């Protein structure tokens, strides 16, 4: 039996007719940049997931960039984030001329270790970017306590955690700003690029709204420096078609993860911890094993697709050589990169395919 790591064609085949009808309506109305479809999506997303307001943007990197602009980070400032994440979590720091400072993750959840964050704070520290990696919320109580003590601006990278809650609060509302991605492979994926920004602080929402459209509230009057971070109308229209399915897709991911957690039994395997403060939405299901490469080859032979997410932590990427870190700087991140392998976890997987993944892992 073949189990692809991810097959986006199934979801898109199922939604082909409503998706094309929505695109046609947007095309005919020439609603190409922001506009009614994007506004409807912003309102729908806010209502479905519990946000006061949402701003649609043109990628998941965009709101991270905008958040760093809103925070006023700049040259000489240090912003702490995790080295075990997608590179985009850190890009915004560079875009505003500030310096990424990494703090290691905890073994159990792949998320920032609050003790390591506290140890990384210097007089130049201005902010923290907490990533809710693989759909699992980070330890926000501890992170916010550090932020409060040192007056730091907190950005939550929720790109992989749409729908996740931390002690009942939707991710993105715990810090100052939360950011989402609708890249096609995300839990809520568009047909192209997309992202969003949320904040519990109304004055920051207004500021982000202006930055999104060239620093402008009134056409051709620019009170602050902004950019072009607008979501396009087609993405808004497509996301409106997909949004009603998100809750069901998330439950299916959680059900598959529940089976993996209960039924994978393999010596030396490390399954991800499920702390009681939050509920993961399982963007990935990533396990660790000391013989990761051999395990992966074994799964490939049994036609189980896997991926390495992430093979190289950020502090060992060439682009961040100038920061002066090296092997050994962040042992938990390095060990995770060396030992991790991600298993198939998308809503359209059949129960028989899930059986096959579990049996194949257990047969290693
Ligand atoms: C996908 C992702 C982003 C944003 O990526 P885009 O490709 O710009 O949408 C940011 N952070 C993390 C952790 C991600 O997984």
Select from 89, 129, 281 the residue to mutate for testing ligand 1; criterion: most ligand atoms less than 8 Å from CB: 89
Q: What is the pLDDT along the chain (364 residues), one digit of tens a residue?
A: 999 999 999 999 999 999 999 999 999 999 999 999 999 999 999 999 999 999 999 999 999 999 999 999 999 999 999 999 999 999 999 999 999 999 999 999 999 999 999 999 999 999 999 999 999 999 999 999 999 999 999 999 999 999 999 999 999 999 999 999 999 999 999 999 999 999 999 999 999 999 999 999 999 999 999 999 999 999 999 999 999 999 999 999 999 999 999 999 999 999 999 999 999 999 999 999 999 999 999 999 999 999 999 999 999 999 999 999 999 999 999 999 999 999 999 999 999 999 999 999 999 9
- What is 8-244's CATH number, 3.40.920.10, 3.80.10.10, 3.40.640.10, 1.10.260.40? 3.40.640.10
- Residue 160 CA, closest ligand 1 atom number: 15
**Residue 63 alpha carbon to ligand 1 centre in Å:** 10
- Residue 182 CA, closest ligand 1 atom number: 9
Q: Where are the domains of the chain?
A: 8-244, 245-362
Angle at 210 between CA 204 and CA 212, to 5 degrees: 100
Distances (CA, A) of 148 to 20, 32, 140, 145, 274: 48, 41, 12, 5, 26
CATH topology of domain 245-362: 3.90.1150
């Amino acid at each position: 039996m073949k189990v692809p790591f991810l097959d986006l064609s199934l979801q898109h085949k199922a939604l082909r007719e409503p998706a094309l009808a929505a695109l046609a309506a947007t095309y005919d109305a020439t609603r190409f940049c922001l506009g009614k479809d994007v506004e409807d999506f912003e309102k729908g997303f806010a209502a479905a997931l519990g946000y006061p307001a949402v701003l649609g943007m043109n990628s998941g990197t965009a709101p991270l960039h905008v958040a760093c602009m809103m925070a006023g980070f700049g040259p000489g400032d240090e912003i702490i984030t995790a080295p075990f994440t997608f590179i985009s979590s850190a890009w915004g720091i560079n875009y505003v001329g500030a310096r990424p400072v990494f703090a290691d993750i905890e073994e159990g959840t792949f998320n920032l270790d609050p003790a390591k964050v506290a140890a990384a704070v210097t007089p130049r520290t201005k902010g923290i970017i907490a990533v809710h990696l693989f759909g699992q919320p980070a330890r926000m109580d501890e992170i916010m306590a550090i932020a409060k003590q040192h007056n730091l601006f907190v950005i939550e990278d929720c790109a992989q955690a749409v729908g996740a809650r931390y002690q009942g609060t939707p991710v993105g509302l715990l810090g100052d700003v939360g950011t989402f991605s609708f890249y096609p492979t995300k839990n809520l994926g568009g047909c192209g690029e997309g992202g969003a920004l949320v904040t519990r602080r109304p004055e920051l929402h207004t500021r982000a709204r202006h930055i999104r459209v060239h620093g402008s509230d009134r056409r051709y009057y620019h009170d602050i420096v902004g950019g072009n971070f607008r979501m396009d109308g087609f993405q808004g229209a497509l996301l409106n078609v997909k949004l009603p399915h998100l809750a069901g897709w998330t439950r299916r991911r959680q059900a598959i993860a529940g089976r993996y957690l209960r039924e994978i039994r393999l010596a030396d395997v490390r399954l991800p911890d499920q702390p009681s403060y939050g509920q993961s939405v399982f963007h990935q299901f990533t396990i660790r094993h000391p013989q990761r490469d051999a395990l992966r080859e074994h799964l490939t032979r049994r036609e189980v697709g896997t991926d390495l997410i992430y093979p190289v932590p950020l502090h060992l990427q060439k682009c961040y050589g100038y920061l002066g870190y090296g092997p050994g700087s962040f042992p938990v991140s390095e060990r995770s990169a060396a030992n991790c392998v991600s298993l198939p976890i998308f809503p359209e997987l059949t129960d028989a395919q899930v059986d096959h993944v579990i049996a194949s892992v257990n047969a290693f």
